[in-house]
Amino acid sequence: MSQSIAVVGAGICGLFTGLSLARKGFDVTLFERDVPPPEGDAEEAFFNWQRRGAAQFRHPHAFLGLMCSVLGENYPDLLEELLEAGARKMTFADMVPKHMADQYQPEAGDEKLWMLLCRRATIETVLRRYVAREANLRIHSQTFVTDVIVEEEATLTGETTLTVTGLELTDRQNQNRESIHSTDVIVNASGRADKFYQWLQNKGAHIDEQRDDAEIVYYTRHYELREGVSEPERDSDNPSAGDLGYLKYGVFPGDNGHFAIIVCLPNEESELRTAVKDGDKFDQICMNIPGLVPWISPEQAKPTTSPFGIGEIHAVWRDYIPSASAPRLLNYFAVGDAAARTNPLYGRGCSTGTVHAHLLSEVLSSEADPWQRANAFKAQTEAEIRPIFSASLSEDKRGIKKAAAIREGRGVETAGSLKQWFALAFGDALVAAAKYQLHVHRGIMRTVNLVEKPGMFLEDKKIRNTVLRYMLRGRKRNAAARIERAASREDMINSVCDPST
């Protein structure tokens, strides 16, 4: 494996791409537009690392079981370094609600249901330093990719091939020196800021893009637990994450006594969107949600940042082999958000990006022909990433409908047909069963952690029978399990947005 590979982007997905390819024997060069992490610990990285190329850098991230399994199975020494830096391992036993603790017995597969709790700055700093130690891998920081070099050729059978052969670079560390980097394969791991999509189309590539607006914006604020204070216990009656329809919220525990809270709002909620930008009003919103009160009460924690937001949230899927008649695009691969992007609210991006990176390294190490590589990678992406993308997109669309119904004062759980009634009744029964039956909760956590295809747990006969049994209790009783104790939309707006308060 003497081929040279250029990876564009040294975020989490790009770093795992470079690492997995280097371990396969490829010669890897990573190009990153931003400066490297500062010297020092996690605190220094979080507060002082300038990551302008990653808009979501300081927003909270979820490192789910899918990613953690890849990490633990392939890079146990990296995991140890992350734990030494303050990251924490949260096992499935830790996730079991207190009122179901007496039901818990370890089962095969539980070992994959664990999460890593830390800030992105922590994992990216440790990962970056770890990757930089690879013998056949180099990282060039402050290097901007300004174009991609493509050679077009017509074959004897009339097909057009577009072979990617290199990159145009501008080195910001060296008087903006421009150069050409020739390479055998280019991997695009540049994330949301991807420019290859347009560059390649300008050079004749056919790329199908599906783009759906989630119609939300979310704001983050970081906090630090006060000295000697522990994190609150998980409370199933007052959860630290939830969906009020007009507002979604969540606590993201981090490392070294830090945690973050997100408040997600539909684009149409103009009054709350204005209020959430103000630190005092952000906290006031949180204090109207019982599950957040134990986290941010003044004696518990203090804020370390002002609220900051991110918008333009889209689900994006790009197909680089859209048809048999399209020009063949060779030696170019897109991974992570550059290929398949889901709503970051669900915390799936790092996990899908990490798996995508390793799928690519397996394809490139097992296939030599460029066109076979392209087709094999597409097939693997469709099989492993598409189901997660589709499930996330469905959640986005349900959220849009629910938020609109609440704004307009309409019922959100009204069935228009017997089929719709059954679906709603089954959903209510599933939520209720998961709240009180550990085996159902475990099944849902397998989906949440992406260790199996979304919804596959419903193929379990025991889980199905339990949910059907709960349906016999009636929708009204089961629907009570969905109710979250928090201010109504009207009360929240009056409380937070009233000038007299």
Residue type, 445: M
What's the CA gap between 29 and 18, in Å, rounded? 8
What is the predicted pLDDT for the residue at 413? 65
Alpha carbons within 13 A on the beta-carbon side of 206: 10
Angle at which helices 370-384 and 386-407 cross, to 10°: 40
Provide CATH 3.30.70 ranges for the chain. 216-312
Provide CATH 3.50.50.60 ranges for the chain. 1-56+119-213+314-411
Which H/E stretch holds residue 29?
Answer: strand 27-31
What is the predicted pLDDT for the residue at 171? 86
Q: Is the pLDDT of residue 462 over 90?
A: yes
Alpha-carbon 391 to chain mean position: 13
* Token pair of 193 as six digits: 């800021």
- pLDDT tens digits, one per residue of 411-452: 666 667 888 888 889 999 999 999 999 999 999 999 999 999
What is the predicted pLDDT for the residue at 418? 86
Contacts 24+ apart (CB under 8 A), 381-384: 381/339, 381/340, 381/356, 384/355, 384/356, 384/359
- pLDDT tens digits, one per residue of 141-155: 999 999 999 999 987
Q: What is the dihedral of CA 426, 432, 433, 436, to 10 degrees?
A: 180
Backbone angles phi, psi at 362, to 5 degrees: -70, -40
Mean pLDDT for the stretch of residues 1-9: 90
- pLDDT tens digits, one per residue of 184-218: 999 999 999 899 999 999 999 999 999 999 999 99
How many CB atoms are located within 10 Å of the residue 494 CB?
A: 14
- pLDDT tens digits, one per residue of 481-501: 877 778 899 999 999 987 665
- On whether the CB atoms of residues 432 and 441 are closer than 8 A, the answer is no
- pLDDT tens digits, one per residue of 39-77: 988 899 999 999 988 888 999 998 999 999 999 999 999
- On whether the CB atoms of residues 24 and 135 are closer than 8 A, the answer is no
What is the predicted pLDDT for the residue at 409? 83
Is 3.30.70 the CATH classification of the domain at 216-312?
yes
More confident call, 382 vs 414: 382
What is the predicted pLDDT for the residue at 415? 66
- pLDDT tens digits, one per residue of 278-329: 999 999 999 999 999 999 999 999 999 999 999 999 999 999 999 988 999 9
| Beta strands, E only, 87-236 | 88-90, 115-117, 137-140, 143-154, 160-171, 177-182, 185-188, 208-213, 216-225
Which residues, in sequence order, are CB contacts of 84 under 8 Å at separation 6+? none
SS3 label, residue 479: helix
What's the CA gap between 246 and 236, in Å, rounded? 21
Is residue 479 very low, low, confident or very high in pLDDT (cuts 50, 70, 90)? confident
- pLDDT tens digits, one per residue of 69-100: 999 999 999 999 999 999 999 999 999 988 99
What is the predicted pLDDT for the residue at 389? 97
Alpha helices in 288-417 (DSSP H): 293-296, 349-366, 370-384, 386-407
Q: Which CATH superfamily is domain 1-56+119-213+314-411 in?
A: FAD/NAD(P)-binding domain (3.50.50.60)
- On whether the CB atoms of residues 422 and 429 are closer than 8 A, the answer is no
What is the predicted pLDDT for the residue at 207? 97
Mean pLDDT for the stretch of residues 217-235: 93
- On whether the CB atoms of residues 46 and 121 are closer than 8 A, the answer is yes
Is residue 234 very low, low, confident or very high in pLDDT (cuts 50, 70, 90)? confident
- On whether the CB atoms of residues 439 and 462 are closer than 8 A, the answer is yes
Of 56-60, 156-160, 250-254, 261-265, which gets the smallest average pLDDT?
156-160
- When the pLDDT of each residue in the chain is averaged and rounded to a whole number, the result is 93
What's the CA gap between 161 and 206, in Å, rounded? 11
More confident call, 174 vs 4: 4
What is the predicted pLDDT for the residue at 173? 81
pTM: 0.94
What's the CA gap between 208 and 161, in Å, rounded? 17
What is the predicted pLDDT for the residue at 484? 78
Instruction: For residue 342, give the nearest of 333, 351, 334 by alpha carbon.
Output: 351
Which residue is it, tokens 């759980």?
413
Q: Is the pLDDT of residue 380 over 90?
A: yes
Residue 368 CB-density burial (10 A; 0-12 exposed, 13-18 middle, 19+ buried): exposed
- pLDDT tens digits, one per residue of 317-358: 999 999 988 999 999 999 999 999 999 989 999 999 999 999
Instruction: For residue 148, give the nearest of 189, 192, 197 by alpha carbon.
Output: 197
- On whether the CB atoms of residues 115 and 63 are closer than 8 A, the answer is yes
- On whether the CB atoms of residues 204 and 333 are closer than 8 A, the answer is no
Of 117-131, 184-198, 232-246, 248-262, which gets the smallest average pLDDT?
232-246
Residues of the chain by 3-state class (helix, strand, coil), percent to 5: 45, 20, 35
What is the predicted pLDDT for the residue at 16? 98
What is the predicted pLDDT for the residue at 411? 65
What does the angle CA 489 – CA 490 – CA 495 come to, to the nearest 5 degrees? 100
What's the CA gap between 375 and 358, in Å, rounded? 16
SS3 label, residue 182: strand
Distances (CA, A) of 440 to 14, 92, 229, 241, 429: 36, 13, 33, 19, 11
